Structure 1
Amino acid sequence: MPHRTFAFGDIHGEIDHLERVLERLPPLTEDDTLVFLGDYVDRGPKSREVVERLMRLPDAVPARVVCLRGNHEDAWLRIVDHGWDEFAIPVANGCRATVRSYLRDVDLPPTIDARTHEMLALTTGSFLPPDVVAWLGSLPFWYENEHGIYVHAGLPPLADGFAHPSDVERPALLAWSRRNAFIRDYRGKHVVFGHTPTAFLPQDLSSHTPDDPTDMWAGPNATGIDTGCGTGGFLTALELPAMRAYESR
């Protein structure tokens, strides 16, 4: 049996979807690797539970566990460091869901207004436990093995192609970049990415199921596996090199 890699798309606070996919994987061995592409928090109702599960996972499975940093983890680190209201406050980013998942069991004194407390937590990240902040800060922006390159968002362009992650001067670009050129023009070692929901990727390039735009997207040299978990979709994990998909739906 070759060494297998199981790459997981954006989870966004949906612990039930994560558990369902983990249960559907074949039995894991110490030769296997689990790669999580980032965006564990926000939007879904149980960001705290997802983070806690991933932090414990290396002790729960025989496989190697690699958790990458998505743009939502990167954003929370910026909020904790110096605030970033432009990301924290817009409803579409789903940051309130993360705050509420951590404050759900916190009893506030009657002298503290709950809305004021939530807004302060939202704009400062003060609710995040120190060990979680340290874990978020330790997450790498990319990973590579014999089967492919794994990033949250994509590879930034160069004059004559696309940069290898090791050559990117601003690694955060690997978590935030969203360029149509990468999706259409990248040719090189297989890249597995999330970040951009598959429904927005060019279906004419997908060799997986172009008739279902919400499904995994398989382009010429890159595979997108953000299938909308946290926004009414489902979670997808991709097994490499077999290119076998596991879904929570």
Structure 2
Amino acid sequence: MKGIKIHKPTQGQRWVVADVHANLKTLQYLVEKKLRLRLEDQLFLLGDYLNRGPDSKGVIDYLIELQDDDFQLYPLRGNHEQMLLDSHEKAKNYSEEELRLPSIQRGRGLKDAKRQLYPKYLNFLGSLPYYYELDEFYLVHAGFNFTVKNPLSDLDAMLWTRDFTERFIPEKINYKRVIYGHTTTPLSAIKEAVTNKAQAIPLDNGCYKHSLDEYGHLCAFNLDTWELVCQKNLDKGSDAQ
């Protein structure tokens, strides 16, 4: 699934949350205590739910639980999800000897002994789209490739590109603003982009970089009120993935 068009709800708010990176406690506190998410709200997530923080499995389980509880959850695919899906495919051809060799356990707890994703997680990750198109915005993990005729055709760029704002051509995407993650951005720069209502707004503050000034927050942006809500990292740990 490449992209999905989502219409504004008749009631409720629309929130966008940037890269979670396995920081479950921080995500839960942001969603439940600060945003106070309701069933009529829409919650968009920009990908990279895995790795770097302490609980990749916990974050994915939490997102699936929100969906099962009928919250309007719209998660995107990030490069870390794609890497996990790629490793799942690669492991299909591993010999028994290769399976016994040490490996980087990306997505610990999401795979079986043969390094295959459990069906529950494979279905969730495999269904993630690359972008959402809203009435006034595009939401994407990394950005778009404006050097090609149709920026919505380059799926790889949506997961991996950086510095795409230097080549931004608004008319190629119907003059809509872009909300994106992937590139860790100082908090002051995120706030400046929101205040100035920039054409492209970064939201990834590097939640896992909790020891650095200007970083270490999980950010949520209200698409209707332009409110920015930031939660300092509550997890602290790292799973070194």
TM-score range for the pair, normalised by the shorter chain length? 0.7 to 0.9
The superposition leaves residues 181-214 of structure 1 with CA deviations (integer Å, 9 ceiling, x where unpaired) of 4256343311110000013x9x7xx58248xxxx
Q: Tell me which of the two structures has the higher relative contact order, counting C-alpha pairs closer than 8 angstroms and 6 or more residues apart.
A: 2
Within 5 Å, give how 1:67-146 maps onto structure 2: 67-82=75-90, 96=105, 98-99=107-108, 126=115, 128-146=117-135
Change (3 A) 1:4 1:75: same
Query: Does the 8 Å CA contact 1:149/1:191 hold for their aligned counterparts?
Result: yes
Alpha carbons of structure 1 residues 47 and 181: separation in structure 2 relative to 1, 3 Å:
closer
Aligned-partner SS, 1:198: coil
Q: Deviations over 1:63-117 (max 9, x none)?
A: x21111000000111111126xxxxxxxxxxx64632x558xx9xxxxxxxxxxx
Opposite residue 38 of structure 2, the aligned amino acid is L
Q: Does structure 1 residue 156 correspond to structure 2 residue 145?
A: yes
One-letter amino acid of the structure 2 residue matched with residue 37 of structure 1: L
Q: In structure 1, what is the equivalent of residue 231 of structure 2?
A: 248
TM-score by length of 2: 0.72
Per-residue deviation, residues 155-180 of structure 1 (Å, max 9, x unmatched): 11136xx7442xx1x423211111x2
Query: Which residue does the alignment assign to 2:207?
Result: 229
Which of 215, 218, 221 is the equivalent residue of 1:238? 221
Q: Within 5 A, what are the aligned runs for 1:188-203? A: 188-199=175-186
The change in CA–CA distance for 1:27 and 1:195 in structure 2 (over 3 A counts) is closer
Aligned with residue 38 of structure 2, among 28, 34, 38 = 28
Report what 1:11 is aligned to: 20
2:59 paired residue number: 50
Alignment partners' CA distance in 2, 1:217 and 1:10: 21
**Aligned AA (2:125):** L
Percentage of pairs with the same residue:
29
Quote the Cα distance in structure 2 between the aligned partners of 1:140 and 1:102: 20
Following the alignment from structure 1 to structure 2, what is the Cα–Cα distance between the partners of residues 149 and 195? 15
**Matched AA of 1:135:** F
Do the aligned partners of 2:190 and 2:201 also contact (CA within 8 Å) in 1? no
8 Å contact 2:147–2:167 — kept in the other structure? no
| In structure 2, distance between residues paired with 1:26 and 1:218 | 26
Q: Aligned partners of 2:36 and 2:141: how far apart in 1?
A: 24
CA distance in 2 between counterparts of 1:209 and 1:247 reads 14
- CA distance, structure 1, for counterparts of residue 196 and residue 209 of structure 2: 21
Contact 1:234 1:248 in 2 (8 A): yes
Q: Look up the equivalent residue of 1:48 and give its one-letter code.
A: K
Unaligned runs of 5+ in 2: 1-9, 92-103, 211-215, 233-241
Tell me what 2:156 maps to. Answer: 172
CA offsets 1:100-146 (integer angstroms, 9 cap, x no match): x558xx9xxxxxxxxxxxxxx7xx7x163221022111110111112
Counterpart of 1:182 in structure 2 is 165
Shift of 1:57: 0.8
| Aligned-CA RMSD value | 2.9
- TM-score, structure 1 as length reference: 0.70
The count of corresponding residues between Structure 1 and Structure 2 is: 201
